[in-house]
Amino acid sequence: MAETQEQSAFFKNTFSYKLIYVFAIADDAHSGSVKVGDTKLDTDLTQDRLQPNCKELNQAALERIRSYTKTAAVSVTLLHTEIAIRTIQKKDGSWNTESFRDYDVHRVLLNSGIKKKTFNGENLGTNGFAATTSRR
């Protein structure tokens, strides 16, 4: 019996990944700061095919960024995207792979001495950090 298009789509392998992105807003008010966020990517690609800054990750990040900056009429520069997965060793010696969120990255930045970006003396938003945007 031939498979219908609907059945084929239903049985397609799809993975859902968290990804972390870093971007800058190109205006004077945001100079010297970057924003770190996360979003989700649904794809049929396995994680080994989703290398940092690949087309699929960049597209997912830009879609998310545009969803909340579109009406602000700001220009953004995407600096980095990467799958948000870490492998940790459990107490029993086995290994576990788990995703992490942008607020986990925020905590690492704060613990590393990187300050949150303030605007006119106020801490606005949760994902802006004082940093340069130079690329190596």
Mean per-residue pLDDT pooled into runs of 10, the chain (136 residues): 56 84 89 92 93 97 93 91 94 93 93 84 72 63
Residue 3 inside a domain? The answer is no
Asked whether residue 87 is assigned to any structural domain, the reply reads yes
Q: Which domain holds residue 50?
A: 14-123
**Residue for token pair 């996360």:** 38
Number of independent structural domains in the chain: 1
Q: Is residue 59 part of a domain?
A: yes
Q: How far is CA 16 from CA 9, 43, 57, 99, 117, in A?
A: 16, 6, 12, 11, 31
Sheet holding 128-130, edge to edge: 76-83, 15-25, 33-43, 128-130
What is this structure's pTM?
Answer: 0.81
